[in-house]
Amino acid sequence: MSLEPGALATLISDSCGLPFDGRRIAGANTIQIVPSGLPVQNTFTIQTAVGWRNVEVTFVPGSFAGELVRHMGLADAGARGSCAAVLAKCLRDGATVNLRINNHPAKPDDPTGWGAQWARLELSVRRGQLDLGNGDQDNEKIFAWTQQVTAAIVTLLPLEQDDLPSENLQGGFSEGAQVQFEGNRYERDRRNRAAALAIHGYACLACSSELGDRYGSAAVGLIEIHHLTPVSKLGSDYCINPATDLAPLCPNCHRVAHRREPPFTIEELKSMLAAE
């Protein structure tokens, strides 16, 4: 495995809006990423093990993470829906998803049976029959699977307050909701971004370009998240579904989309590009 733990941690940090550090387990094809600057025993590790033709990503709670897991069980319906949407994407992509709550198997794509009083949480996602051994393409797969599992977990991290989201073109986006995750500020919009990228990937939904392919490593992961329904039209209790309400757009397409109010649709953007 050629992917450096630090490089993986940087990509995951960008996609999930939480800083992570990476390290390799000596003598094994396994990378661990942990939230930066926090006592790992109180938080969690995301462990990615690369085998012969398979990748397995496991959520490993710290030995004193009971309080965190309890809070994750109390995540609101929007967060649980986002988590389930990400895990449903993993299932669609051919992975085996093992989700256990309080030592009982739970359906990954249906949060209605998850209950709210969590004492124990186990999650691992394994994708076999992968064509590995191709350098950069391996790295993309390792990153994609690690990002999906990390996104599923961070969607459930505790939010302290929920404000109506807003979209800010300059910075891509920013929502009002901000939280304290064990000392790190964590915004609801970042949670939605993590889930949207896990589900849709990094290619622009309008022009299909991935900026990293065109500009190289400086642009890897550079993508903006567009709200298909303007946030001003959503009720304050509306739960954003990252699969259907959010779309990754490159900065160009995103700017064009907002040159009209209401914004141009993805289909309209596509037909502009086709007519050019």
| Contact residues: Zn ion, CB under 5 A | 204, 206-207, 226, 250, 253
By the 8 A CB rule, do 95 and 145 touch? yes
Compute the distance between CA of residue 253 and CA of residue 273 in angstroms, rounded to an integer: 10
Q: Tokens representing 27?
A: 């003598």
Task: Return the number of the residue (126 or 258) whose C-beta is nearest Zn ion.
Answer: 258
Residue 271 C-beta: closest distance to Zn ion, Å = 14
Task: Return the number of the residue (33 or 204) whose C-beta is nearest Zn ion.
Answer: 204
The answer for residues whose C-beta is within 8 angstroms of residue 91's C-beta and 6 or more apart is: 97, 108, 109
Task: Return the number of the residue (101 or 206) whose C-beta is nearest Zn ion.
Answer: 206
Element (H, E) at 274: helix 266-275
Compute the distance between CA of residue 238 and CA of residue 37 in angstroms, rounded to an integer: 33
Q: What angle do CA 230, 237, 262 make, to 5 degrees?
A: 10
Residue 89 C-beta: closest distance to Zn ion, Å = 21
Residue 189 C-beta: closest distance to Zn ion, Å = 12
Residue 273 C-beta: closest distance to Zn ion, Å = 8
What is the amino acid identity at position 162?
A: D
Task: Return the number of the residue (86 or 253) whose C-beta is nearest Zn ion.
Answer: 253
